[in-house]
A and B are shown apart, each in its own frame.
Chain A
Amino acid sequence: MQAITKSDFIGKDAPVAEKRPLIFTRPTAKTGLVSWLTTVDHKRIGLLYGVSSLIFFLVGGFEALLIRVQLAVPNNTFLSAQAYNELFTMHATTMIFLAVMPLSAAFFNYIMPLQIGARDVAFPRLNGFAFWVFVVGAIILNVGWFVKSGAPDVGWFGYAPLTSTAYSNQFATDMSTDLWVMGLQVLGVSSIVGSLNFIVTIINLRAPGMTMMRLPVFTWMTLITAFLIVLSFPAITIALVALMMDRSFGTSFFEVSNGGLPILWQHLFWIFGHPEVYILILPAMGIISEILPTFSRKPLFGYPIIVFSGAVIGLLGFGVWSHHMFTTGMGTMATAAFSVATMAIAVPTGVKIFNWIGTLWGGQLQMRTPMMFALGFVWMFMMGGLSGIMHSAAPADAQQQDSYFVVAHFHYVLIGGSIFGLLAGIHYWFPLIFGRKVSEAWGKASFWVIFVGFNVTFFPMHFLGLNGMPRRTFTYDGNMGWNSANFIASVGAMILGIGMAVYFVVMLYTYFKGEKVSRDPWGARTLEWSIPNPPPEHNFSVIPTVHARDAFWYEKHHREEIDREKAQHAADEEAHGGIHMPSQSWFPILAATSILIGGLFITNHHFLGAIGGGVLLFIAVYLWAWEGPGGYHLHLDKHGNPIEPKDGHAGH
């Protein structure tokens, strides 16, 4: 309670705010379009992230199905080579940057502040800004579908010299690569801004008693992922800046003819790209670490080891990037070093797997839908991990490089890993967010269809790869011995597509008509389940005091002590002015819009327009600073409902 009693607010707010110029009128709508456009509530921003990432997940999935239709039979002409290139580029870019990362961010936003007992993130307006900038990046990446140039087609890795103007023209026919460069730059800004916010929130906004070693594992993984984002994205930012200079201003960073080194692009890209794969998997690992103990009715086995393993994975993740480049001729010393470092990463990952098994061991397993996905995660991720260890041996990798074996490997860790974890998380936290629960029968049905479809699609790809089928080729000849495995994979992809369709239909049905549940339907252990349903805007009527690692579990078993504490804290807080809430604001979305304007002008080489976008951005940021954080105070009645009217007070 130290935080409240020592805070600024001593209960002497100005009763009514003075008349303000229109431009600084803070929006107060709590429902309707304006309330969503101007929101600073971490839960609403989480929902916005969730909905938009699921839409892009469906788009990316549709692109994958088109790819599989093309490859179902040899010498297929369903897609042109150009369309195929666009599809595999956009499938990967969409799934990584527009589906898995923002879906993880959705959980970071919605769940993490609740898990640490906070009322919002440290910088609420900046949080809104991060989301709207993400939307801007997504628009810029996808706008190519609707204009003459077509979508980006250089692969999600954008290797030089594919991205040079010689192969990917500017203006004459094609500005798709410029859209790709600009889209990734903007998404990088969004990720870094969002992550800085999460880091400050976890470090500084923990409830009293919530020490670092009492943080739920999901929050720990959020912290580690945020650090990975903050430290790895600058590398690709610089690589993209250099590429943009090459394409627009005649430099030759990656132009071989003028002495440029294409290999430098690969190094910069993978210094970002390898931590990126841990950015994709660590959040899922955090979700699994919440679900397994809840449905095993046991505390997580080896909590500190799981946390430290996550941190070690993050740390080692920065030292293994060149295992993506074993066949580039780096020299034996470098190859051996990166090979050994890569093998070392298997150790903390294996430790995590054993800890999850240890959590299940001897537990009273409840086979609910989230648990099914979580168990599917452990098994499938492990299989992807095993083929990963095969890649870490450089001689073996030389054979597997650029073959379908690699495709099989990373889909096992990304679908069997990340996506299974995220789908499990949606099922697990659905009752918390919407107060309804998916029916067990339909939930499990969707799991089994997805599980079967996934394995039928990607398991045969191991054999395709070992038989020499290369990645990223739009068709193949009928006499290569690849026909049956490709056909099976394409059938599996359709099954997987049906499974996802079932999953989403069930989810929509549940949202409208699903079984209503009270709070804490799973008998969970962490603080997010302690709040009423639907979650109130202020999250906690009283900021909780944490006494144990499984904080809510402790609360449930020490009712009297907790009630006494809460009554005391509520009185303290009321004496200090009530619950402080952040005000909504227009400026995050306005600032993001000016980035969209400037970004599109830059990709079209209208530099006057680009400067105009920059000026708009400055104005938006200036007004943002000018209006200040704002804020108002809530007072609760004895049932925890806010009492109207709210009093406004000038910000600081």
Chain B
Amino acid sequence: MSSHSASGAIDHHHDATTSTGIPNKKVFMWTFLASDCMFFGALISMHVVYRIHPPAGSPDPRSIFSIELTSFSTFILLMSSLLMALAVNAIQKGNLRSTRNNLLGTIFFGLIFLACQVYEFQHFVHDRGLTLSSSLFGSTFYTLTGTHGCHVAIGVLWLILMYIRTFKPSDADQSSKPWFIMSIVHLLVFAVAVILGVYVVVDFGHQLHVPTFTIGSFLAGHLLPLIGLAASIAGLMFLGRSRGPVDFDERNAIDVESMGLYWHFVDIVWIIIFPVVYLLEYI
């Protein structure tokens, strides 16, 4: 709950209803992130311990990694944090349009990161022979980066739900039926777009290696998914148009901010994983 009864202006840095002046949700999120630090701390240490004591026959990570691709996706994830910060800033100023655009941007960049990871995993498994059980390096690598990927995926899901939430009509009750059904439809269309989008992009990456690859043959081979993708994006544009006043404004800034804290945290964890797991191998 934010405080806005008397003057109407909201102070985003002080909540008079709590003892400390910090909103409950923010204290909750910071404490949860402290817990998550220990979580990733244990995972990263496990990877490092086994890199320091590699069993005989461990693969050379440099022969597996594609450092250019991972550098690119790291950069994208870092930039998604910028968009997330802009979204928080926008909603604190009550700028709904900018909030939506920046949320969409964050979602898009998060998905690029995830698509790169899916591509990377498939590439490692099929072309480089690194699987969960092929070596301890595979075990710790996939467990660590996979857990991080799950965090990113949960973050993307949260961002999508928040984005849909910005369309709640101001005249809708907490539980009005039309808005409920519409939000579910919106979510399903989003899910279709995300799944098809990631599928097409990842497959495009794989096809690039095929000698007979042409854009034309790729398009012809993926006609159905591409039509579905285009249709779902059209659906998203239709659902994403402005329709009268909404119940999403400065008072919701704390919700967007909590989500932002999570997103930045997941980003920072990657900023630690990337040098420790990837870059250190090249020294």
A: residues with CB less than 8 A from B are 2-3, 6-10, 17-18, 20-21, 23-24, 122-123, 192, 196-197, 199-200, 203-206, 210, 230-235, 237-239, 241-242, 245, 249-253, 258-261, 264, 268, 271, 622, 625-628, 630, 650-652
* A residues in contact with B34, CB < 8 Å: 230-231
Whether A2 contacts B16 by the Cβ 8 Å rule is yes
Query: Does B180 interact with chain A (Cβ within 8 Å)?
Result: yes
With the chains together, A109 CA to B281 CA distance in Å? 49
**In the complex with contacts A6-B3, A268-B42, A234-B139 CB distance below 8 A:** no
With the chains together, A314 CA to B24 CA distance in Å? 24
Query: Does B1 interact with chain A (Cβ within 8 Å)?
Result: yes
With the chains together, A305 CA to B170 CA distance in Å? 53
Query: Does B6 interact with chain A (Cβ within 8 Å)?
Result: yes
Whether B139 contacts A252 by the Cβ 8 Å rule is yes
**In the complex with contacts A122-B24, A250-B132, A630-B174 CB distance below 8 A:** yes
Interface pairs A-B: 6 shortest CB-CB: A259-B55, A250-B133, A24-B175, A251-B139, A234-B39, A6-B16
Find A203's partner among B6, B19, B42, B140 (CB 8 Å cutoff).
B19
* B residues in contact with A242, CB < 8 Å: 46, 143
Whether A626 contacts B42 by the Cβ 8 Å rule is no
Q: Which of B1-50 contact A (CB under 8 A)?
A: 1-6, 16-20, 22, 24, 27-28, 31-32, 34-36, 38-39, 41-43, 46, 49-50
Whether A200 contacts B35 by the Cβ 8 Å rule is no
With the chains together, A417 CA to B131 CA distance in Å? 49
With the chains together, A261 CA to B16 CA distance in Å? 52
B64 to chain A, nearest CB (A): 17
Find A18's partner among B18, B20, B173 (CB 8 Å cutoff).
B173
A selection of 22 A-B contacts at a CB cut-off of 8 Å is: A6-B5, A7-B16, A8-B2, A17-B173, A18-B173, A24-B175, A122-B24, A123-B24, A196-B31, A196-B32, A203-B22, A204-B22, A231-B35, A232-B38, A238-B43, A241-B143, A242-B46, A245-B132, A245-B139, A249-B132, A626-B183, A650-B174
With the chains together, A258 CA to B136 CA distance in Å? 7
Whether A264 contacts B46 by the Cβ 8 Å rule is yes
* A residues in contact with B136, CB < 8 Å: 251-253, 258-260
B166 to chain A, nearest CB (A): 14
* A residues in contact with B1, CB < 8 Å: 7-8, 652
B: residues with CB less than 8 A from A are 1-6, 16-20, 22, 24, 27-28, 31-32, 34-36, 38-39, 41-43, 46, 49-50, 53-56, 58, 132-133, 135-136, 138-140, 143, 147, 161, 173-177, 180, 183, 251
Whether B19 contacts A204 by the Cβ 8 Å rule is yes
With the chains together, A650 CA to B173 CA distance in Å? 7
Known: A18-B176, A24-B175, A259-B54. 12 other contacts (CB 8 A): A8-B4, A122-B24, A205-B18, A230-B31, A231-B34, A249-B133, A251-B133, A261-B53, A271-B42, A630-B174, A650-B174, A651-B174
* A residues in contact with B135, CB < 8 Å: 258
* B residues in contact with A235, CB < 8 Å: 38, 42
With the chains together, A30 CA to B13 CA distance in Å? 38
**In the complex with contacts A6-B3, A192-B35, A245-B175 CB distance below 8 A:** no
With the chains together, A232 CA to B35 CA distance in Å? 8
With the chains together, A242 CA to B43 CA distance in Å? 9
Which residue of chain A has its CB nearest to the CB of B56? Answer: A259
Whether A205 contacts B31 by the Cβ 8 Å rule is no
* A residues in contact with B133, CB < 8 Å: 249-252
Which residue of chain A has its CB nearest to the CB of B137? Answer: A259
**In the complex with contacts A8-B5, A21-B180, A199-B31, A206-B19 CB distance below 8 A:** yes
**In the complex with contacts A2-B16, A6-B5, A652-B1, A627-B174 CB distance below 8 A:** yes
With the chains together, A344 CA to B38 CA distance in Å? 24
Find B143's partner among A21, A196, A245, A628 (CB 8 Å cutoff).
A245
* B residues in contact with A18, CB < 8 Å: 173, 176
Which residue of chain B has its CB nearest to the CB of A618? Answer: B157
**In the complex with contacts A21-B180, A259-B136, A260-B136, A200-B31 CB distance below 8 A:** yes
Whether B19 contacts A205 by the Cβ 8 Å rule is yes
* B residues in contact with A204, CB < 8 Å: 18-20, 22, 24, 27
With the chains together, A251 CA to B2 CA distance in Å? 48
Whether A253 contacts B39 by the Cβ 8 Å rule is no
With the chains together, A9 CA to B34 CA distance in Å? 33
Whether A234 contacts B174 by the Cβ 8 Å rule is no
* A residues in contact with B16, CB < 8 Å: 2-3, 6-7
With the chains together, A8 CA to B55 CA distance in Å? 61
With the chains together, A204 CA to B56 CA distance in Å? 53
* B residues in contact with A237, CB < 8 Å: 39, 42
Whether B139 contacts A7 by the Cβ 8 Å rule is no
* A residues in contact with B251, CB < 8 Å: 652
With the chains together, A196 CA to B56 CA distance in Å? 43
With the chains together, A241 CA to B142 CA distance in Å? 12
* A residues in contact with B38, CB < 8 Å: 231-232, 234-235
With the chains together, A192 CA to B34 CA distance in Å? 11
* B residues in contact with A625, CB < 8 Å: 161
A247 to chain B, nearest CB (A): 12
**In the complex with contacts A6-B6, A627-B175, A238-B28 CB distance below 8 A:** no
B30 to chain A, nearest CB (A): 10
A430 to chain B, nearest CB (A): 30
Whether A626 contacts B18 by the Cβ 8 Å rule is no
With the chains together, A239 CA to B49 CA distance in Å? 14
B281 to chain A, nearest CB (A): 18
With the chains together, A483 CA to B32 CA distance in Å? 51
With the chains together, A650 CA to B174 CA distance in Å? 6
Which residue of chain B has its CB nearest to the CB of A14? Answer: B173
Whether A239 contacts B42 by the Cβ 8 Å rule is yes
With the chains together, A242 CA to B20 CA distance in Å? 39
B6 to chain A, nearest CB (A): 7
* A residues in contact with B3, CB < 8 Å: 6-8
Which residue of chain B has its CB nearest to the CB of A126? Answer: B28
Which residue of chain B has its CB nearest to the CB of A271? Answer: B42
* B residues in contact with A24, CB < 8 Å: 174-175
With the chains together, A200 CA to B4 CA distance in Å? 22
B129 to chain A, nearest CB (A): 15
Whether B17 contacts A3 by the Cβ 8 Å rule is yes
* A residues in contact with B24, CB < 8 Å: 122-123, 200, 204-205
A222 to chain B, nearest CB (A): 14
